[in-house]
Structure 1
Amino acid sequence: MRRRVVIALMILGACLAPALARAATVAQVLIEGNARVDDEAIRIHVQSRAGSRYDPAAVDSDVRAIYAMGFFENVEVERRPSPEGMVLVFRVRERPLVTDVKIEGNKKVRSEDLEAALKVRPHTILDGEKLRRGVVDAKKLYEEKGYLDATITPRVDPVPDRPHEVTITYVVDEGKIVRIQHIEIEGNQAFTDRKLKRVITTKEEWLLSRFTGAGVLNKETLKTDTERLTAWYYDNGYINVRVDEPQVERKEDGLYVTIKVAESDQYKVGEVKFAGDVRSDLDLRKDLELVSGDTFRTSKLRQDILKLTDKYGDVGYAFVNIEPETDIEPEKKTVDITYRIDQGPQVTIDKILITGNTKTRDKVVRRELKVEEQQQFSGTKLKKSRDALNRLGFFQEVNLTTQRGRSEEKLNLQVDVKEGQTGALTAGAGFSSADNLLFNARISENNLFGRGYRAVLNADFGSIRQNFIASVTDPWLFDVPLSATVDGFRWKLDYQDFTRSGTGGSFRLLYPLTALGYDQLLGRFSLEEVRVGGEYRLEEAEISELISRNTLNSLFDPTRGSTEEISVEYAGLGGQSDYVKIDVRGRFYWPIYKSPQLGTFVYSIGAALGYGHGDRGDSHHELPLFERYFPGGINSIRGFQTRTLGPREPIRNGQGQDIQSDPIGGSRQLIINNEIIFPIVEQLGLKGVLFVDTGNAWLDSEGYDFGNLRYSVGGGLRWQSPLGPIRIELGLPLNKHRHEKSSVVLFSFGAPL
């Protein structure tokens, strides 16, 4: 019996084998449901082919590949029998096409910013996951502005009579702004809450938060604030400080932030030692910020590393490496510092390569460098070279970089500059009772023919006064650092009762003291950049002695350094006048704060002191009219009209009554300018300025009358534009006297002169 069953099964299997083989073969692959996507574009991603054996794993892979195309929201597979075998049908449902995207209800965030965050564009396929991520990113824009309750709801609407097409409308409910009401710092003993709150960027809400943005919670900024506090404590000797992650609590009136601090102990500096390549010819301890007994500060440690690097760099070790090793003594509460020095090879400058100077000649750049080819490398001289090139005012950018030369002991210096605007044109007009209508025009070029020559043409012309000046300066006469200036001038006064005029010229020479072998004064004060010289003026047979110094790091936009000048003029060897005139001028710049976001804040103070003694006026001790001091104007006491301050002479009517007064100038002068210069958009060269000016001029008979000073305050904008520096300033006189003229809006365009 069993044998019969086996035989029957074998016969049945033989009969069914062809049919089973046909059923396991893919006879045809069909695509259904697609409207916009072409069949062949889908088939490219399908591995199953007609004539191949049916493979469930391959079909699953085909479904995933079709999904991955991103055009379909559903993919199904149907198996249909046929006489030739199995028919595979991939039935797809296409994602709709987005034809339009709208945003409604947004006021605090621009539509352009929201669109960039949402990342959904018209004429793209609707992607639900992308839609969700876009909403999350867009809400972050509101959170950054303090709108923590803002909601963004996408509404998908089908387009009538257009299947598979939709429009998306994002409905925004911004809600109310939620600000930080209080920041609580717990555990601090060494520093007050007020002090630590100034360290962090996150701020509490206050009266002007609407304009300053203070009080807005930014989670990334708050996280960075913990690092700022840690760095602050570390820089004050608390090397084991721990600052916990800030806790934010939401209450009815806003947010409350708590920052917990564990200060631990303050550490002092223990021993300061040097190891490695210690040179006996260098006083390594001199000028170091950190000495034994001081509070350990990481900022001063970095400064000391730079100072030591400069000392080695100045004797040719350009690649010196200094690693600070610290040894903490918990019992003594001290940190021992060992500076391990690897001086590397002593190098010389092989070649100096100058690039970017499309106008300025190579020799004009080279003569300002404090280093020469085949000379020993010096880091300090490189910095001074960069400052000297910036002081020229010829270049927008100056970059000095070093490259390895032909050997390990050789270094190439790359001087890359970007030419700036060196010409300037200024013009103005005014009216006064002294001059009636007066026009001024000034043209200057600080880099004539690319040779570094300076040329100036100035004209003042009005109904009463005319003054014309032409000046040419060669800062390197005969290719030596001898500055020579030749001036020619003509002036005329045309009053009702008389006319006076004059024509003349002057010749001025300046030479650096260092070229004469004088490097220091009294062994302490550097005489670098100090120039001495004299001037002879033909019209009045006037002789002047000059001393000048300029250590500014930039002519256009200085942030440190100073410029000073002392001049003594004497006329009396001929001509019509006999007088002595002494002028002392100076301006100093100090960086006072560096903001990570904005840039460098600078304090500047300038002063001009003038003294003159002549043979004119009622006292026969006053200066001639054209040598007197007339304060007022954008480069003097702002807020007052140009050349209108100082002594005045009354104008009377026919009855002898004073109806007006004219400025007649003084023989003595004092002007002091105080400025805070702050960045607005530092990358564009746009800065703001706040100023307080004071000063006046007096007759010799009055002396310096400090009870008769004029004061003004104001502010303005300064822009290093591609066409040259532009100044727009508003000045407000605080104690303007009768008949004195104010000039609230002040404007200047062009390179500094």
Structure 2
Amino acid sequence: MRAFSTGIKKTVVVAAFVSLVPVGGTGFDFIGVSIAKAQSSIVVRGNQRVEAETVRSYMTNRGRAMTAQDIDESLKALYGTGLFSDVQIQPSGGQVIVTVKESPLINRISFEGNKRLTDEQLKSVVESKVRGFLSRSKVQSDVQRLLEAYRRNGRFRATIEPKIIELSDNRVDLVFEFDEGDKTAVSRITFVGNNAFSDGRLRDVIKTRETGLLGFIRTTDTYDPDRLTQDQEAIRKHYTKNGYADFRILSASADLDRERNIFFVTFTVDEGELYTFGQIDVQSTLPELDPARLRSVVRTSPGGTYNAEEIEKSMEAIVAEASKLGYAFAQVRPRAVRDYGNKTIAITYYIDEGPRAYVERINVRGNSRTRDYVVRREIDIAEGDAFNRTYVTQAERRLNRLGFFKSVKLTTEPGSSPDRVVLNVDVEEQSTGELGFGAGYSTAEGIIGDVSLSERNFLGRGQFIKVAAQFGEYQKGYSFSFTEPYFLGYRLSAGIDLYTTHYEDNFYRAYSEDAQGATVRFGFPITDNLTLGTSYSIMSQDIMLSRSQVNQDYRDGEASLAYKQFIAGGKKNATIFNPCPGGSNCHRYTVTSMPSANVVYNSLDNIQFPRDGIYVKFQTDFAGLGGDVSYVRATFDSRYYREIYADWGLIGMLRLRGGHIEGVGEPVDLINNFFLGGETIRGFAAAGIGPRDITRITPGGHKNSYRINEALGGRTYVAATAEMMRPFPFTPEEFGLYTGVFADAGTLFNLDDNLPREGRPIRDSKGKIVGRFSYTDTAAIRSSAGFSLLWRSPFGPLRADFGFALTKAKGDQEQVFRFSGGTQF
């Protein structure tokens, strides 16, 4: 009983003691109660903008005695905020005195001496902000970020000096002074281990370029580590697309020569063997999913060159077909089996049902200018749809192809539940506007040029707009073009073109012309390479002969009698005698209303300077939907490019083209005929082959006669070209000089019967016969051979052709030298 009473007493004492401790506790223990109470008060001094409670929140000793470790940790925490330039902590009696000196506020951030990067670009790099506290450590970090931005723009010698200008009220101006230095360009790009493709061919695959004489125009001839990474991926895709399934990049290095301020970039590759496709099969574990039906959409075929891109596209096509049949979660896994002896790879596409996951959310990030829907419409899945990795790969390829973004990356992360996936689309925008200046020279048109302003992502809506002006010795004009790539929300392009042009008469065009027109067009992509296009055009033409060209004596020879007959109204047996009496000019005004359709297949690796691929275009025009003329015209153009011998960079090209025009219910006007010459069969003048007016005229009162000899054009033509090009020997490859040989052949013939009949007499104003109509019209093959010089200049390809006629017909006009070129730069 006594033991029990003693225990009760102890319990009461303990309970009484515990009741003295505040509820919730302050971290005090019983032994240090008196010390804690003595130092529990924290006094903040020197603060002006920062609240005292904010300072106290960073003290690590709150509620307990201050130790040396507490002081050290508190100092680090307070300095780490960046709010203070000086902090002192001193325990004093029952208090802790914290004396601070606040960091000054940044009144203004300015950049001086910067030309290559704008203020807006630099502001996006620095972390220091206006109306924020100045932190010297942050300023130094900003300097490093700015230097990195300059290095990515090829300025490795750039230096930056930050300056702090003190103002009243504890404010400062932060100024970054720049010395941008010279551009650190890529002097040489070398490939080691490549045998299948020449260095020049691989340089065309990558974005990085070598600097040269006109390197000041380029922006890609500097070292950028991100671009180098993209280049490696581009090289890998190029090889795996062309049969080298085992291709590897062993290393990609960029060595800086600091003394000369240049980079040497080297790619070391292991090409592996060239493979072709072996047996192709499709197998499915899903019921009611017929593999035979899925084989019809597979794009790989036995015997074809191995192509990793075609495998990806086959997977996408299979998934799309399976989705149509109700299998939204179908996934495709290609299995490759190599036959090392025969160098073939058999592909089996295994189809099964993937995990049932749905897209919870799609986050589009980094698109400060491009609208979200422009990005989202390239992705064939939306929030709530079944998630399929194949569609993600397809979307990434489409977004890269737009050309709106410097980089595109699609990643996934878990959603709010195991069957939910969040898709993140991270993009980095790049400039899409272009101020273009075009210049060139043609032996037919003389000096020609254009100025244009274009935008590929107008107002961030993904639309294309272009305004241009053309000028030259014999022509001038203006044009406007607009394209909406997703018309009415479908993957259907629609556009409109407006133009007005004036042509002066010259030595090969015996008339002047004013033309205005408008075209509405639509494009339907069938596959990545195949496009179907339709359009409607309406055009007015005002053809004019000057008074001197229609004089009664026909002594000038400036315009053929055929053109005069055309101007006179196209009457077959009209008397060709002063067809425009009393006027200073002779006009013929016509309106053409014409729907058209075309099919284009384009697998060229480079539009401007192709080395590999096929281009085929077939177009049909139907004039006569109203208007003054009625005809059907069909044309085709096909080209095949192939690198023949990689070590020499030898490129081969075969081209076949032709066309025919047929009047509907009326003859074809001369102005609508085809005119061929040196642009098609080199070695001949512009409009130098085909039917001609060879009427001989003996003007009244003149002893000497002359032959008119002017082109009339033809209704049918066909032409073929074989050409080989290679880099010019003994010249640095970065100069872009090429030489080549060619052979051309073709014919133009088939005059309509709207001309005065052959042999009809021509009389002057006194009724005297001064000549008889005479024409040539033969389907004889014209041919030529020669050599070319080409310069891949920053202004576009410029070329000089030296052609020599091998076979010709009566009346044809030869021209050995032809110069042409000029494009946007």
Determine if the alignment matches structure 1 residue 216 to structure 2 residue 271.
no
Aligned to 1:541: none
Task: For residue 114 of structure 1, give the secondary structure of its aligned residue in structure 2.
Answer: helix
Q: 1:307 offset after TM fit, Å?
A: 6.4
Q: 1:150 offset after TM fit, Å?
A: 2.5
Select which of 50, 56, 77 maps to 2:89: 77
Task: For residue 131 of structure 1, give the secondary structure of its aligned residue in structure 2.
Answer: helix
Q: 1:324 offset after TM fit, Å?
A: 1.5
Select which of 90, 94, 107 maps to 1:99: 107
Distance 1:181 1:730 in 2: 24
Aligned to 2:351: 341
Aligned to 2:179: 172
Distance 1:61 1:136 in 2: 28
Determine if the alignment matches structure 1 residue 665 to structure 2 residue 712.
yes
Determine if the alignment matches structure 1 residue 551 to structure 2 residue 591.
no
Select which of 151, 155, 161 maps to 1:153: 161
Superposed counterparts of 1:179-198, under 5 Å: 179-181=186-188, 183=190, 185=192
Aligned to 2:45: 32
Aligned to 2:484: 396
CA deviation profile, 1:597-624 (whole Å, cap 9, x unmatched): xxxxxx99895545899xxxxxxxxx89
Q: 1:143 offset after TM fit, Å?
A: 1.9
Distance 2:703 2:197 in 1: 70
Give the alignment's Cα RMSD to 1 decimal: 6.8
Distance 1:611 1:333 in 2: 49
Distance 1:192 1:627 in 2: 47
Change in 2 beyond 3 A, CA 1:606/1:334 = closer
Change in 2 beyond 3 A, CA 1:731/1:214 = closer
Determine if the alignment matches structure 1 residue 460 to structure 2 residue 535.
no
Distance 2:284 2:576 in 1: 81
Q: 1:245 offset after TM fit, Å?
A: 3.7
Distance 2:343 2:190 in 1: 31
Counterpart contact for 1:395–1:418, Cα < 8 Å: no
Task: For residue 712 of structure 2, give the secondary structure of its aligned residue in structure 1.
Answer: coil
Counterpart contact for 2:297–2:318, Cα < 8 Å: no
Q: 1:126 offset after TM fit, Å?
A: 1.6
Q: 1:132 offset after TM fit, Å?
A: 2.0
Select which of 138, 159, 169 maps to 1:130: 138
Counterpart contact for 1:629–1:697, Cα < 8 Å: no
Superposed counterparts of 1:213-612, under 5 Å: 213=219, 216-229=222-235, 243-251=249-257, 252-253=259-260, 254-261=262-269, 272-276=280-284, 279=290, 284=295, 289-291=300-302, 297-305=307-315, 321-327=331-337, 336-342=346-352, 396-398=484-486, 416=490, 420=494, 422=496, 424=498, 426=500, 428=502, 430=504, 440=514, 442=516, 456=538, 458=540, 460=542, 497-498=578-579, 550-552=598-600, 562-565=617-620, 584-587=634-637, 607=657, 609=659
Distance 2:123 2:43 in 1: 39
Distance 1:697 1:331 in 2: 52
Change in 2 beyond 3 A, CA 1:660/1:330 = closer
CA deviation profile, 1:170-227 (whole Å, cap 9, x unmatched): 24252562534463626x6776666666655555555554444565332233344445
Distance 1:197 1:103 in 2: 37
Q: 1:135 offset after TM fit, Å?
A: 1.7
Q: 1:641 offset after TM fit, Å?
A: 11
Q: 1:134 offset after TM fit, Å?
A: 1.9
Distance 2:511 2:196 in 1: 65
Aligned to 2:776: 701
Change in 2 beyond 3 A, CA 1:271/1:630 = closer
- Partner amino acid for 2:350? R
Task: For residue 246 of structure 1, give the secondary structure of its aligned residue in structure 2.
Answer: strand
Q: 1:644 offset after TM fit, Å?
A: 14
> 109-118 vs 280-289, which deviates more?
280-289
Distance 2:268 2:688 in 1: 60
- Partner amino acid for 1:94? E
CA deviation profile, 1:121-150 (whole Å, cap 9, x unmatched): 554432223222222222223322433233
Superposed counterparts of 1:5-16, under 5 Å: none
Distance 1:731 1:653 in 2: 47
Select which of 626, 629, 633 maps to 2:673: 629
CA deviation profile, 1:211-266 (whole Å, cap 9, x unmatched): 44565332233344445555556566666665434344444554445555556677
Task: For residue 332 of structure 2, give the secondary structure of its aligned residue in structure 1.
Answer: strand
- Partner amino acid for 2:222? V
Superposed counterparts of 1:678-689, under 5 Å: none
CA deviation profile, 1:623-642 (whole Å, cap 9, x unmatched): 89768737499x999x9999
- Partner amino acid for 1:144? R
Counterpart contact for 2:594–2:623, Cα < 8 Å: no
Task: For residue 56 of structure 2, give the secondary structure of its aligned residue in structure 1.
Answer: coil
Q: 1:419 offset after TM fit, Å?
A: 8.6
Counterpart contact for 1:270–1:335, Cα < 8 Å: yes
Aligned to 1:575: none
Task: With a CA cutoff of 8 Å and minimum separation of 6, indicate the structure with the bigger relative contact order.
Answer: 2
Distance 1:732 1:204 in 2: 25
Counterpart contact for 1:71–1:125, Cα < 8 Å: yes
Q: 1:94 offset after TM fit, Å?
A: 1.8
Consecutive unaligned residues of structure 1, counting only runs of 5 or more, are: 1-16, 345-392, 400-413, 466-489, 511-547, 570-579, 594-602, 614-622, 675-691, 716-728, 748-753
Q: 1:671 offset after TM fit, Å?
A: 8.0
Q: Number of aligned residue pairs: give it.
A: 529
Counterpart contact for 1:630–1:644, Cα < 8 Å: no
Task: For residue 184 of structure 2, give the secondary structure of its aligned residue in structure 1.
Answer: coil
CA deviation profile, 1:481-530 (whole Å, cap 9, x unmatched): xxxxxxxxx985999734699999999999xxxxxxxxxxxxxxxxxxxx
CA deviation profile, 1:630-671 (whole Å, cap 9, x unmatched): 7499x999x999999974678869646689969573455648
CA deviation profile, 1:273-304 (whole Å, cap 9, x unmatched): 44336848659499864537x77553443355
Task: For residue 133 of structure 1, give the secondary structure of its aligned residue in structure 2.
Answer: helix
CA deviation profile, 1:371-423 (whole Å, cap 9, x unmatched): xxxxxxxxxxxxxxxxxxxxxx9972347xxxxxxxxxxxxxx9637895557
Counterpart contact for 2:43–2:95, Cα < 8 Å: yes
Determine if the alignment matches structure 1 residue 114 to structure 2 residue 122.
yes
Return the TM-score normalized by structure 2.
0.46
Change in 2 beyond 3 A, CA 1:338/1:296 = same
Change in 2 beyond 3 A, CA 1:694/1:79 = farther
Task: For residue 166 of structure 2, give the secondary structure of its aligned residue in structure 1.
Answer: strand
Distance 2:169 2:156 in 1: 38
Aligned to 1:619: none
Q: 1:104 offset after TM fit, Å?
A: 4.0
